[in-house]
Amino acid sequence: MPISRDQFAKGLDNTAQRILNFLAEHPDNAYEPSEIAEAIDEGKLPGEKSLWWGMALLSLTWQNHSILDDLVKKGLVDKKIIKGVPWFCIHKD
């Protein structure tokens, strides 16, 4: 699947772009990694009543962690640890 020229210039894959889009659509909020995974990977998660839902969410959250850290390094996303929990929001200039 191709990526846009803007994504190419920023070095973003489709998952990173979905994360950025989600955070940009909610600029006044910060989210935990699991909340981001739940929002952007909705179609990949089994129904909430499924025994596999928690494991699937944990897996997607883990996969997105390195992407989130990369977005922080690029200055596109801000990260703060509050009471031991990482929170992420879109970077504002």
Residues of the chain with pLDDT under 50: none
> Given this model, what pLDDT does residue 52 score?
74
Strand ranges (E), the chain: 77-82, 85-90
Domain span at 16: 5-90
> Given this model, what pLDDT does residue 71 score?
95
Contact 16, 73 (CB under 8 A): no
> Given this model, what pLDDT does residue 44 score?
63
> Given this model, what pLDDT does residue 15 score?
87
Number of Cα atoms under 13 Å in the Cβ half of residue 31 = 25
Q: How many domains does the chain have?
A: 1
Answering whether pTM is above 0.85, one says no
CATH classification at residue 67: 1.10.10.10
